[in-house]
Each structure stands twice: as C-alpha cells, then as structure tokens.
Amino acid sequence: MAPKVTAAMTSTPEHLTMTHKLRKPLVEKLRRERINTCIEQLKSLLGPEFLKQQPDSNLEKADILEMTVCFLTQLQLQNQQQRNLLNSFSKLQTRRLLNHINKLQNSSDNLREAHISLNSSLWRPW
C-alpha cells in the first residue's frame, strides 16, 4: 500500500527534490520527442533536396540540420538577389516614367507656345 502524503510532507525540501527527480526524466523525454519530431518535419520538407545530396543513405540528425542550414542560406541569398533585381528594375522603370512625363510636359509647353505665337502673329481684319 502506498504511503499517505500529508500537507506537511509536500512542502519539505526532500519532497521537492524527489518530485524534481521524478519529473526531470519525463520533461527531458518530452523535449527529445519535440526535437525528433521537428527534425523529421525538416527531413520531410526538404526530402527532394536530401535525395539530391545523398540518395539511399540514412541521414543523421546533424546531417539534416546541416542540410537545412545550407538550404536556408541558399534560399536567403536567392531572395536577396531577387530583391536587388526588383529594386534596380523599379528604379529603371521610375526613371523611364519620369523621363516620359518630362517629355510630355515639354511637348505640351512647346504646343502651348506655338499656339500662342500663332494666335499673336495671325492677321485679323477685325
């Protein structure tokens, strides 16, 4: 039969130490399970990438993490290159648009000046 636990026993340092000793392996097991689950998720997400690198091999956790870091680094570099390309394209398009607007404005000014000079130089009998 299990010993009865009284209120006085639950607050003793020995009881707290015993509770900690009993909980620690359970908490550690749950932590390892979370890590393993996440590593398996990484492996499944990057499955095609793994097959390219090491077909028909059993990957260790460290291999999976290293390949994930490598893949994310490549992805980050690719993303930065696309952003740079988009920025330069946007700047070029903006410059072209401003040049076009300036040309339209200049031609509009030229037409207005031509219209004014035509109206002032026309001979009118009235």
- 78-100 pLDDT, tens digit each: 999 998 888 888 888 888 888 98
The pLDDT of 37-54, averaged and rounded, is 80
What is the span of the domain harbouring residue 71? Answer: 20-92
Please check whether residue 1 lies inside any domain of the structure.
Answer: no
Higher model confidence: residue 15 or residue 35?
A: 35
Length of the chain counted residue by residue? 126
What is the C-alpha separation between 19 and 21, in angstroms, rounded? Answer: 5
- Give the amino acid at 98: L
State yes or no: pLDDT of 33 exceeds 80.
Answer: yes
Please check whether residue 126 lies inside any domain of the structure.
Answer: no
Q: What is the pLDDT of residue 28?
A: 95
Residue with tokens 């707290």: 16
| Domains held by the chain: number | 1
Please check whether residue 114 lies inside any domain of the structure.
Answer: no
pTM across the whole model: 0.56
Of 49-53, 72-76, 82-86, 106-110, the range with the lowest mean pLDDT is 49-53
Q: Which of 30, 28, 40 is nearest to 65 (CA)?
A: 40
Please check whether residue 75 lies inside any domain of the structure.
Answer: yes
In three-state form (DSSP H/G/I as H, E/B as E, the rest C), the secondary structure along 90-109 is: HHHHHHHHHHHHHHHHHHHH
Q: What is the pLDDT of residue 119?
A: 61
Dihedral sign, CA of 85, 90, 96, 98?
A: negative
Please check whether residue 66 lies inside any domain of the structure.
Answer: yes
CATH number at residue 85: 4.10.280
What is the C-alpha separation between 78 and 91, in angstroms, rounded? Answer: 20
Please check whether residue 3 lies inside any domain of the structure.
Answer: no
